[in-house]
Amino acid sequence: MVYHSSFVDENGVNRACGCPLLPLKSHIKGPAPVSDQDRTDIVDEAITFFRANVFFRNFDIKSPADKLLIYLTFYINVALKRLEGCRTLAEGTKAVINLGLEKVPVPGESGFPFSGLFPLPQSHPEAGGQRSSVPNGFSFPPPSSAMSSNINGQILPYPCPHLAEFRRTSSKPFRALHHCLRIKPPGGRAAIRRDPNEVPCCAACGLSSPSRLYACVTCATVSCHTIAADGDSLSHAAAHAASMPHGHQIAVDVDRAELFCCACCDQVYDRDFDAAVVIAQTTASTLGGGSTATPPLQPENLRKRRRVNYLPWAPDLREQALIGSCSSPIDGATDDSYHFPRGLRGLNNLGNTCFMNSVLQALLHTPPLRNYFLSDRHNRYFCQNKSSDEGDSGNAGKKSGGINGNKSGRICLACDMDAMFSAIFSGDRAPYSPAKFLYSWWQHAANLASYEQQDAHEFFISMLDGIHEKVEKDRCKPHSEGSGDCCIAHRVFSGILRSDVMCMACGFTSTTYDPCIDISLDLEPNQGGSTKKAAASSNRTCNGEADCSSQNCGTSTLMGCLERFTRAERLGSDQKFFCQQCKVRQETLKQMSIRKLPLVSCFHIKRFEHSSTRKMSRKLDRYLQFPFSLDMSPYLSSSILRSRFGNRIFPFDGDEPDATNEVSSEFELFAVVTHSGKLDAGHYVTYLRLNNQWYKCDDAWVTRVDENIVRAAQGYMMFYVQKMLYYKASDKQVAS
């Protein structure tokens, strides 16, 4: 037996095409009245009965609401068909929203599925009412009642009914506006002007200075939208919308080129319009000169990463046997040395080598790097980079091999890393001497080979370079560094930076992408030279940090440094840049952003300052606050670009359709390298976070410390790993 609609009471319900306009649980204003959120409406009913009703061949119509139920059942079917091919929630949401935006055939038009069931519309508005009532009810989001959906990791608001109506009634909605889009050179902001030098002013009050001027997209009247102090009387823009029959609600902000609905008093978004504005803006900044720079160059070394579903793995019988026969059990990992996790082992200082020890400790506990070496991906006995006799003879032979290795190209830092990983994770707790590694590194970087103190950061760069170089020479394949598939060092640490240089005169922007191993950050200047700067920075510390939640006033933070790093910076008049469009050197604006995040982000704080004017160097001992969990999304290219183009629905550089960025932009701190002492004489100490417990690695001594000590430490290099690669709890189980 079919289920009939319970909405049989028709008192006070309007009809369109024989269908009652029943109340709907929607915040969008349409012809249908709004129902209470906690009551069941016709849409709920249709969804509830769908599974039952869809099987019936015949439906005995008892009330007009039944017709609606039939139509809705059909519509759900259509929606389900659309969802068939969608793999993710975001895709599905998008498909359903698109369906809701489509033109719905009304009774009497071709394409309407139930001819004869519904009477024809008497007038056009009725058809309009019918139309808009359907998408109203049916742009239902699959996840219960969220009123907006998430596409490309961006919150996508529901289209306002006035905008939807406007798009339906006009054939080419925003065509006229395209001629009026003006891009203003400094900053490249979009504006709406009929001719470039026009001074728009409100048609009602004649003022040209109010902050918000809107041009009606239907009749081109410009009105201001200054809200009266009492908030009751209508603004001129709202009054204009109200005075016209209909279709004059949508207006465009003349200074921002953003759409606004005067009836809803809210910003509205239109995909096509936003796309047109963004394209106009990018064209103005790149194609204007007719140069070779085509719209945003994609770095060619960015491959689309395909997502693979997680499959739990359990060894079958054969694999169990193999594991049993080929491995030896880990002996007493928990008994010895006060339950320190496996792999914590001090490194002996070989004579001012704390710079090396500190970085090595961090690298030895870098999850992706550790997994790589411990899973035998680079085996020192089978390494192709060394001569075969050396490889076979093992550790003893390696010493002699190292000495012979002067013949260039015989050293392999990755092999030494592998040897070190074996030693560190062997379970032996006695401090280890990385002498072999030091020797190999000396051969790699001959200019740094001495017992003098070195910079830890310099060592870090140099040794990753050493691991990389070896593989590069070996394979002779033209790998690009940024792609991260050349060697383990780059696979783990390499990201891509995007730098935009914009000409201040014409707005021409040149974009370059550079691979990076780490990000070097300037400490925020506390005491500026000029009085103006001092005023600005003191303000900044009071106000600016209020946003960075839970930050104390007056201290610089890592977030603050990153914010400065990605902020648009005006290059001084002394370092003018050659503009391809103007053909002369111009003042420029430079902005950095992160195009691709590495698996492990290393932040290097520039604590050693070299002043060329005073011909001296000094160390900045200022404290820098760093969070244990860091969200990198505000510093990504997509976020930076988005803020540059105003509020738009448009996928920007780096936006991936399935919102993987959102997941991978969260980072966890796992190692901090600190420096104490002066510029020329000091000591490096590493704090490691294992199983959410902090350990201080001071050369040969490893001690457990409280996290407050770490927070108070003067960080020099911070190592963050992507959250999904950081195992907070499960590490312990693996170790024990």
Partner 1 sequence: MKSKSSVNRPPTPDVLEDTPEREPTLQELINIKLIETGEKERLMELLRERLVDCGWKDEMKSLCRAFVKKKGRNNVTVDELIHVITPKGRASVPDSVKAELLQKIRTFLVSAAL
Query: Rule CB under 8 A: which residues touch partner 1?
Result: 27, 147-148, 169-172, 175-177, 179-180, 184, 186-187, 192-194, 197-201, 203, 206-209, 212, 215-222, 225, 227, 231, 245, 247, 252, 254, 260, 264-267, 532, 535-536, 539-548, 567, 570
Token pair in block for residue 278: 């963004």
Count of CB atoms within 10 A of residue 346's CB?
A: 20
d(CA 216, CA 222): 6
The answer to whether the CB of 28 falls within 8 A of the CB of 136 is yes
Rounded Cα distance between 342 and 329, Å, is 13
Q: Are 344 and 688 in contact (CB under 8 A)?
A: yes
The DSSP secondary-structure symbol of 574 reads G
Least Cβ distance, residue 650 to partner 1 (angstroms): 19
Minimal distance in Å, beta carbon 542 to partner 1?
7
Nearer to partner 1, 19 or 177 (CB): 177
Give the shortest CB-195-to-partner 1 separation in angstroms: 9
Residue 365 is a catalytic residue? no
Give the total residue count for the chain. Answer: 736
CB nearer partner 1, residue 176 or residue 322: 176
Measured CA distances, 413 to 297, 352, 437, 464, 661 (Å): 35, 20, 7, 9, 33
Structure tokens at 572: 């001084």
CA 635 to chain centre: 8
Shortest distance, CB of residue 194 to partner 1, whole angstroms? 4
Distance (Å, rounded) from C-alpha 100 to C-alpha 183? 33
Q: Which of 354, 415, 561, 579 is catalytic?
A: 354
Q: What string of DSSP letters covers 227-289? A: PPTTS-SPPHHHHHHHHSSSS--EEEETTT--EEETTTTEE---HHHHHHHHHHHHHHHHGGG
**CB neighbours of residue 120 within 10 Å:** 14
Residue 176 vs 724, nearer CB to partner 1: 176
192 vs 636 by CB, closer to partner 1: 192
Give every CB contact of residue 182 below 8 A, 6+ residues apart in sequence: 190, 191, 192, 193, 196
Q: Give me Rg for the CA atoms of the chain.
A: 33
The answer to whether residue 354 is catalytic is yes
Opening angle at CA 527, ends 629 and 605, nearest 5: 35
CA dihedral 372, 518, 732, 688 (to 10 degrees): 130
Q: Which helix (H) or strand (E) holds 210?
A: none
CB of 588 to partner 1, least distance (A): 14
637-642 contacts: CB < 8 A, separation 24 or more?
A: 637/498, 637/593, 637/594, 637/595, 638/153, 639/593, 640/566, 640/591, 640/593, 641/593, 642/154
**CA pair distance 60, 110, nearest whole angstrom:** 25
- Taking the least distance from each CB to partner 1, the nearer of 188 and 391 is 188
Q: Which of 423, 597, 594 is nearest to 513 (CA)?
A: 594
- Cα separations in angstroms, 239 against 7, 229, 256, 315, 525: 38, 16, 21, 72, 50
Give CA–CA dist 24/602, Å, rounded: 53
State the minimum distance, in angstroms, from the CB of residue 586 to partner 1.
Answer: 15
Least distance (Å) between residue 574 CB and partner 1: 19
| Nearer CB in complex with partner 1: 586/686 | 586
Cα–Cα distance between 670 and 664 in angstroms, integer? 16
Q: Which is nearer to partner 1, 148 or 629 (CB)?
A: 148
Work out how close the CB of 285 gets to partner 1 at its nearest, in angstroms, rounded to a whole number: 15
Least gap, CB of 510 to partner 1 (angstroms): 20
Task: List the helix and strand counts (H, then E) for the chain.
Answer: 24, 29
Separation between Cα atoms, residue 599 and residue 721, nearest integer Å: 6
Which CB, 38 or 60, lies closer to partner 1? 38
Least distance from C-beta 77 to partner 1, angstroms?
Answer: 29
Q: Which is nearer to partner 1, 117 or 244 (CB)?
A: 244
Q: Which of 246, 339, 479, 683 is catalytic?
A: 683
Which residue lies nearer to partner 1 by CB, 132 or 453? 132
Task: Pick the closer one to partner 1 by CB: 78 or 146.
Answer: 146
In angstroms, what is the minimal distance from the CB of 203 to partner 1? Answer: 6
Residues labelled as active-site residues: 354, 683
